Amino acid sequence: MCGIVGYIGQQPAPPIILEGLQKLEYRGYDSAGICTIDGGQAHIRRSKGKLVNLARLLAAVPMQGSVAIGHTRWATHGKPTETNAHPHKAGPVVLVHNGIIENYLTLKKDLHCNNHNFKSDTDTEVIAHLIEHEMVRGSGFEEAVRAALQELKGAYAVCLVSETEPGMMIAAKHGSPLVVGLGDREFMVASDIPPILPHTREMVFLEDDEMVVFKDGSARFSTVSGDSLTKIARHIDWSPLLAEKDGYRHFMLKEIFEQPRTVQDTLAGRLLEDEEDVCLEDLGLNDSELAQVRRICIVACGTSWHSGLVGKYLLEEHCRLPVEVDIASEFRYRNPVIGPETLLIAISQSGETADTLAAVREATIRGARTISICNVIDSSIARETEGVIYTHAGPEIGVASTKAFVTQLVALYLLMLRLGRVGGSITLERMLPHFATLLHLPALMERALRLDSAAESIARRYQHAGDFLYLGRGINYPIALEGALKMKELSYIHAEGYPAGEMKHGPIALIDENLPVVVLALKDRHYQKVISNMEEVIARGGRVIAICTEGDNEVALKAESVMYLPECSEWIAPILLSIPLQLLAYHMSSIKGNDVDQPRNLAKSVTVE
Ligand code: M6R
């Protein structure tokens, strides 16, 4: 996720772009850049790190021009360096991009053969070269943009200028958001509403494969392939703060609702349907090295540890390798038995958690092979492991992890498929149903998000509870732990997660008419056993909140409150179950008037012991 912004009009563009980028910094902040067209020439300034560095650069060396584009980056392809920062230029063409171009390597190879030299490691630069290539072959700027965009696979929102057309700006989108602001002979585009609000409230929301060309004080809309369009502007009446959160009350809620899209980003370019294989581009270990792995050890903290626990079920079942999952702060001090045949997988959203990083260092000293699953590109853990699977969830602002967690689960699923293929435990025949499951996942997640108002009513009903118990079995047991952690950290209500079968070994003593018990009771191989555990709770007066499969009347009759999820493969059930549990904890926190995005005593990234 990155933020892009563009301006064309009569005013000095650089301050407008800078102010716009400040409002988009929540979308990425590892580098930023701006390009203005002044005197028929493109002038570019870029800097690594937060936007303040670019602002300093502009203060020291000001820019002129009333056409400009800007970008704030959240790295996906290529490290967060100045060279990889946008805008990218090829010949006369300059662009900013938000999205992931899945076929960039193929396109880059072809362009190389046509004498195009690349300066950055990004997927984005390919687009600039493709357009330049078309222009060299005789197309005008607009025509070249149309031709190039039709070659792309993946997601993009782009804003482009060219030295050959100094009074023109073009924007288009496919899969990534793009809003167009219509002023009086001045126009803006941005990844989101906030940068546009101070300038105009009349906005057009581009649909996929739509494009807009600004020239001579007018905006002309069309499809990318060239059919003219009439777009109706909407009047946006939002307050600037609400707008930053896309209309949601909190970043956490926005991030919960973003999850289907982020899962698509995690999957982008990785399921090779033609080859019936999975591509994990930065995995670091080749097939023969992966085939030598005899044991897996996963280390992580907090929510990331819970995703590791789900990973154990996936990897053991499908790859037939023994998997241990350790809390990183325990692993680093306990003389673990690991060596060259052990694959250590470190899971961390931030990639900076001190204990997880220390565990990676410990494993490296002991000769284990190491990979990580991280969200933040080029973070310490990503750098210090031999390979990495980036989750591509975009910046997670809410301290309570939501979208990073579900994308970690998807990354583990992909790793399971890769390891299973290499090790021979997943045949081609068994691979394709997994592809279908993953490709269908975002649609099922959208359906799970419809539980928002049910989760809110349940939160209201149980808001005075002093404790919560969460029960799950099998691959959903870690989700009981995660549900309880979300409830604790957000609502400050004490909550425990337990494997449902463990109830009678102690926790059943807690049950009385004041204890809400969240039971994860989907129709899977453990269903009957979970129902028995639920009966045990009900028999002792406990108040059951069940999450069950649509159409399950048996559970509905017994439980006090119910939320239904669509039928799904048991391997993605943890992802779907996470959604109502996140929503329940979110609403509980919000009802109690807590600081949802920054709960007390917590930090987003724990870089100290
Ligand atoms: O950045 P990491 O994934 O390494 O962070 C690990 C934990 O600190 C983190 O998951 C924490 O438990 C969150 N507050 C959970 O919502």
Distance from residue 349's CA to the centre of ligand 1 (Å): 7
Q: Angle, to 10 degrees, between the axis of helix 573-591 and the axis of helix 428-449? A: 20
Q: Which two tokens stand for residue 495?
A: 């909550």
Q: Which two tokens stand for residue 197?
A: 């609000």
Atom of ligand 1 at shortest distance to CA of 408?
Answer: 3
Catalytic residues: 2, 604
Q: Residue 390: count other Cβ atoms within 10 Å of its Cβ.
A: 25
CA-CA distance, 494 to 487, in Å (whole number)? Answer: 8
Nearest CA to ligand 1 atom 4: 348
Nearest CA to ligand 1 atom 12: 302
Choosing from 190, 214, 244, the residue where a domain stops is 244
| CATH number, residue 166 | 3.60.20.10
DSSP 228: B
Is residue 609 in a domain?
no
Q: What is the per-residue pLDDT for 241? A: 62
Distance from residue 406's CA to the centre of ligand 1 (Å): 13
Which of 325, 327, 347, 350 best tests ligand 1's pocket when mutated (most atoms within 8 Å of CB)?
350
Please report which confidence band the pLDDT of residue 246 belongs to, taking 50, 70 and 90 as the band edges. confident
Is residue 565 in a domain?
yes
Is the previous residue joined to 322 through a cis bond, with omega within 30 degrees of 0? no
Distance from residue 535's CA to the centre of ligand 1 (Å): 34
Q: Are 84 and 32 in contact (CB under 8 A)?
A: no
Mean pLDDT computed over 397-426 = 96
Is 516 in the same domain as 383?
no
Is 431 in the same domain as 296?
yes
Give the H or E element holding residue 520.
strand 516-521
Q: What is the mean pLDDT of the chain?
A: 94
In this predicted structure, the answer to whether residue 369 has a pLDDT above a threshold of 90 is yes
CA-CA distance, 464 to 536, in Å (whole number)? Answer: 23
Q: Which of 362, 365, 369 minimizes the C-alpha distance to 345?
A: 369
CA-CA distance, 249 to 11, in Å (whole number)? Answer: 33
Is 299 in the same domain as 403?
yes
CA-CA distance, 584 to 455, in Å (whole number)? Answer: 5
For residue 108, give its domain range: 3-244
Cβ neighbourhood burial of 273 (10 Å; 0-12, 13-18, 19+):
exposed
DSSP codes of every residue in 17-35: HHHHHHHHGGG--SEEEEE
Distance from residue 50's CA to the centre of ligand 1 (Å): 22
Which of 298, 325, 349 best tests ligand 1's pocket when mutated (most atoms within 8 Å of CB)?
349
| CATH number, residue 550 | 3.40.50.10490
Is 208 in the same domain as 269?
no
Mean pLDDT computed over 23-33 = 85
Nearest CA to ligand 1 atom 7: 302
In this predicted structure, the answer to whether residue 243 has a pLDDT above a threshold of 90 is no
In this predicted structure, the answer to whether residue 47 has a pLDDT above a threshold of 70 is yes
φ, ψ of residue 348 in degrees (nearest 5): -160, 125
Is residue 357 in a domain?
yes
Q: Which two tokens stand for residue 479?
A: 């989700």
Atom of ligand 1 at shortest distance to CA of 353?
Answer: 4
Distance from residue 62's CA to the centre of ligand 1 (Å): 41
In this predicted structure, the answer to whether residue 232 has a pLDDT above a threshold of 70 is yes
Pocket of ligand 1 (CB under 6 A): 301-304, 348-350, 353, 356, 399-401, 489, 602, 605-606
State pLDDT tens for residues 5-15.
999 999 999 99
Which of 250, 299, 304, 329 best tests ligand 1's pocket when mutated (most atoms within 8 Å of CB)?
304
In this predicted structure, the answer to whether residue 239 has a pLDDT above a threshold of 80 is no
State pLDDT tens for residues 85-95.
999 999 999 99
Strand order across the 187-190 sheet:
41-48, 31-38, 67-73, 3-8, 187-190, 179-182, 202-205, 234-235
Distance from residue 538's CA to the centre of ligand 1 (Å): 33
Q: Which of 70, 59, 60, 95 minimizes the C-alpha distance to 16?
A: 70
Atom of ligand 1 at shortest distance to CA of 605?
Answer: 1
For residue 400, the one-letter residue type is A
Distance from residue 56's CA to the centre of ligand 1 (Å): 33
State pLDDT tens for residues 292-317.
999 999 999 999 999 999 999 999 99
Q: What share of the chain is helix, strand, coil (3-state, %, to 5)?
A: 40, 25, 35
Could you give the 3-state DSSP secondary structure of residue 527? helix
Share of the chain above pLDDT 70, in %: 98
Mean pLDDT computed over 67-79 = 90
pTM of the model: 0.78
Mean pLDDT computed over 12-40 = 92
Q: What is the per-residue pLDDT for 238? A: 67
DSSP codes of every residue in 71-94: EEE--SSS-SSTTTSSPEEETTEE
The structural domain count of the chain equals 3
Choosing from 244, 264, 296, the residue where a domain stops is 244
Nearest CA to ligand 1 atom 8: 302
Q: What is the per-residue pLDDT for 79? A: 86
Which of 252, 301, 376 best tests ligand 1's pocket when mutated (most atoms within 8 Å of CB)?
301
Half-sphere exposure of 201 (CA within 13 A, CB side): 7
Is residue 596 in a domain?
no
Is residue 312 in a domain?
yes
Is residue 608 in a domain?
no
Is 331 in the same domain as 236?
no
Q: What is the per-residue pLDDT for 501? A: 93
State pLDDT tens for residues 153-205.
998 999 999 999 999 999 999 988 899 999 999 999 999 888 998 999 999 98
Beta bridge partners of 299: 326, 346
